[in-house]
Amino acid sequence: MNTTKSESLFAEAQLHIPGGVNSPVRACKSVGCDPRFIQRAAGSKIYDVDGNEYIDFVCSWGPMILGHNYPAIMEAIKEAMEDGTSFGAPCAREVELAKLVTEALPSVDMVRFVSSGTEATMSAVRLARGYTNRKVIIKFDGCYHGHADSFLVKAGSGVITLGIPGSPGVPDDIVKNTVSIPYNNEEILEKTLRDDSLDIACVIVEPVAGNMGVVPPASGFLQKLRDLTSELGIVLIFDEVITGFRVSYGGAQQKFGINPDLTCLGKIIGGGLPVGAYGGKKEIMSMISPEGPVYQAGTLSGNPLAMAAGSATLKALKEPGFYEKLDKKAADFAASLESLAAKYLDEATLNRQGSVMTAFFGKGPITDFESAMNADADKYGQFYRDMLNQGIYLAPSQFEGMFISAAHSEDDLARALEMTEWSFKKLQN
């Protein structure tokens, strides 16, 4: 595969952009290669600047559930663009998307749009603290809620991938108010939440963890979390930036039948444009400025292009049978991956929730950060490079998800399986 243009762009990028990338995991350090620079995308494929074609299983880290350049989304963006790209004033497209989101999520009476998932989570936590007048945040080891200071404690995603314990620049004074506990451990959860010495404002959780690789909740874990937080007056925040409109139209909260107090969204609700949102009970959301005293603002919040793309996406996802079809495709693919792993690898574990999954090169069950960290990231790196060079584009980290979109065809998946078998055979030897 000729990659000379990517190589020279990466060399140039490193002179002007730290690490040559605008988000750390894109640099592909943990998988032992350099990034491909992408020129364009269509359907299930992306194309690099050297003209190489890849079947895309990153899907822009989740948003492209309908595939790239989905016609109704492109049309909606074009139409919105004709009206102007940003007003810094309210517009009808914000109301349309807000209605679609609140209809989809019964726990969300009101929603505030922002421009990224990080903005959504950091704003939701501020709101929870303002509402409860308490300080401490409880999070779970290996969960990732974006890069705001308070969350960079035993965080997942790029933080695990690069093996960073925390981050310089985050003052101790801030992280002393963040307590991180193991995911899926009811006993430690209960002990922590009942600890009177902690002044707990909120618990923030990925209801299906997606940033230490995919780790679904253990049976009863989310219900226990809901029961305890309700009893103790702690705000329960579901970070559904990945799972929202992914694991079902109503997200993980619909899938598992749990109503959080606040929900954070991003990715899919922007249809591929930069967006985030947080929403929840009216009583809590009314605390946000200008209705209430908790301040949060944004020049590009509710951007008309992002709102248009989001509404077009959600309307397409409402199509009856959409999730059944997508989940079945993902389940069949996962089953084939599992049988290949069983045939060629000593230790492998496939975790999946709907159309997002992780193939861990490690012994199962993988239920939390500790068990995820036992996976062999170097082996994943070899697999990644094999697949990339055969035109299969995976997440450049063992600790991320692999996304199936509506655009993936039978042929795409068959080709990915064929290449997987070829790579697994090599790894076996």
Q: What secondary structure letter does DSSP report for 43?
A: B
Minimum Å gap between C-beta 61 and ligand HOZ is 4
Provide the CB-side half-sphere exposure for 180 (13 A, CA).
20
Minimum Å gap between C-beta 232 and ligand HOZ is 29
Burial of 105 (0-12, 13-18, 19+ CB in 10 A): buried
Q: What secondary structure letter does DSSP report for 399?
A: T
Minimum Å gap between C-beta 170 and ligand HOZ is 17
Question: How many residues sit close enough to ligand HOZ to count as binding (CB under 6 A)?
Answer: 8
Catalytic hit among 267, 278, 384, 393: 267
User: In the window 221-240, what residues touch ligand HOZ (CB under 6 A)?
Assistant: none
Minimum Å gap between C-beta 209 and ligand HOZ is 10
Nearer to ligand HOZ by C-beta: 158 or 217? 158
- Cα separations in angstroms, 62 against 241, 273, 372: 9, 12, 20
Q: Do residues 243 and 252 touch, judged by C-beta distance below 8 A? A: yes
* Tokens 């292009």 found at: 305
* Tokens 């704003």 found at: 123
DSSP β-bridge partners for residue 112: 278
Active site (annotated) includes residue 329 = no
Minimum Å gap between C-beta 175 and ligand HOZ is 20
Phi-psi region of 108 (alpha: psi -120 to 50; beta: other; left: phi over 0): beta
Minimum Å gap between C-beta 244 and ligand HOZ is 13
- Cα separations in angstroms, 37 against 57, 210, 377: 16, 25, 23
Minimum Å gap between C-beta 16 and ligand HOZ is 19
Binding ligand HOZ (rule: CB under 6 A), the pick from 140, 400, 403, 412 is 400
Six-digit token pair at 342? 């069983």
**227-247 in b/e burial notation, b at 16+ Cβ within 10 A?**
ebbeeeebbbbbbbbbbbbbb
Nearer to ligand HOZ by C-beta: 10 or 61? 61
User: In the window 61-80, what residues touch ligand HOZ (CB under 6 A)?
Assistant: 61
Six-digit token pair at 322? 């959409």
Active site (annotated) includes residue 384 = no
Binding ligand HOZ (rule: CB under 6 A), the pick from 2, 8, 23, 428 is 23
Nearer to ligand HOZ by C-beta: 19 or 292? 19
User: In the window 24-53, what residues touch ligand HOZ (CB under 6 A)?
Assistant: 25
Active site (annotated) includes residue 379 = no
Nearer to ligand HOZ by C-beta: 323 or 399? 399
Q: Do residues 277 and 101 touch, judged by C-beta distance below 8 A? A: yes
Q: What secondary structure letter does DSSP report for 347?
A: S
Nearer to ligand HOZ by C-beta: 213 or 304? 213
Catalytic hit among 48, 56, 141, 239: 239
Packing angle of the helix pair 410-428, 322-344 (nearest 10 deg) = 20
User: In the window 126-145, what residues touch ligand HOZ (CB under 6 A)?
Assistant: 144
Q: Give the neighbor-by-neighbor strand order of the sheet with 235-239.
A: 110-114, 276-280, 262-266, 235-239, 200-205, 136-140, 178-181
Binding ligand HOZ (rule: CB under 6 A), the pick from 211, 229, 349, 371 is 211
DSSP β-bridge partners for residue 264: 239, 278
Nearer to ligand HOZ by C-beta: 340 or 372? 372
Nearer to ligand HOZ by C-beta: 192 or 263? 263
Minimum Å gap between C-beta 330 and ligand HOZ is 18
Q: Which residue is nearest to ligand HOZ (CB)?
A: 23
Nearer to ligand HOZ by C-beta: 61 or 238? 61
Q: Do residues 297 and 274 touch, judged by C-beta distance below 8 A? A: no
Minimum Å gap between C-beta 247 and ligand HOZ is 15
3-state secondary structure of 287: coil
Instruction: Show the binding pattern over residues 142-181: x = contacts ligand HOZ (CB under 6 A), - = does not.
Output: --x------------xx-----------------------
Six-digit token pair at 196? 């009177």
Helix, strand, coil % over all residues of the chain, rounded to 5: 45, 15, 40
Catalytic hit among 144, 183, 323, 393: 144
Packing angle of the helix pair 186-193, 221-232 (nearest 10 deg) = 10
Nearer to ligand HOZ by C-beta: 97 or 120? 120
Query: Which sequence positions are flagged as catalytic?
Result: 144, 239, 267
Which residues of this protein are in contact with ligand HOZ, per CB under 6 A? Answer: 23, 25, 61, 144, 157-158, 211, 400
